[in-house]
Amino acid sequence: MRARLGVVFAGLQVELREIVLKNKPAQMLAISPKGTVPVLELVEENGSQRRVIEESRDILEWALQQSDPHGLLNTDLASANALIERNDNEFKHWLDRYKYADRHPERSQLEYRQQGEVFLQALEALLGQNTFLLGERISLADIAVMPFVRQFAHVDREVFYSLPYPKLQKWLRDWLDHPVFKQVMVKYQPWQEGDDVVIFPSSTERGAL
């Protein structure tokens, strides 16, 4: 989701190949042996490989470096990067355990949720000062963090929306209604060799932002 958000906000288009991780195609593993998604292969006009980017944050930043028509990089990048680092290292650790508490019996699901809430409290404080995480406009920080807050909320939506974080809850609801979010959540059929090329976003969707 984070990589797709970057592509859409940058106004770019890519050839999209939907992958089912239980059935990774050989073509994917040849490009990226680690076998995780997303992975972006940059190709020269002559068809030769130029570069492979294997992390969602790196794909997001690459996309915005190519084109940033909405000014998502026009923010305090030091603060944005610090927030993303905390999200990716601290919050994601507790999020994974909250989502899959049965795989981590060392603590209860409640304890994992409470550990994750430490980051949510920091986000609530930021949103108490601004409409978005770092100001009055969407920035790199918002699109990098939002997918993980959404995952946290969807572990138990009733619990999430009962927590004392009204600013964060509104911020997430607004994102779920955002036209870009709806674009990146479109479902695609898993790719197979010989399938027609799928361009993301399509020309029709591209004009909807």
Residue 58 pLDDT > 70, yes or no?
yes
Q: What average pLDDT does the segment 151-166 reach?
A: 98
Considering only residues 21 and 98, tell me which one the structure prediction assigns the higher pLDDT: 98
Show Cβ contacts of residue 104 under 8 Å, excluding neighbours closer than 6 positions: 97, 112
C-alpha span between 173 and 79 (Å, rounded): 24
Domains of the chain: 2-69+182-206 (3.40.30.10), 77-177 (1.20.1050.10)
C-alpha span between 80 and 134 (Å, rounded): 7
Residue 8 pLDDT > 90, yes or no?
yes
Q: What's the predicted TM-score (pTM) here?
A: 0.92
Q: Which pLDDT belongs to residue 45?
A: 82
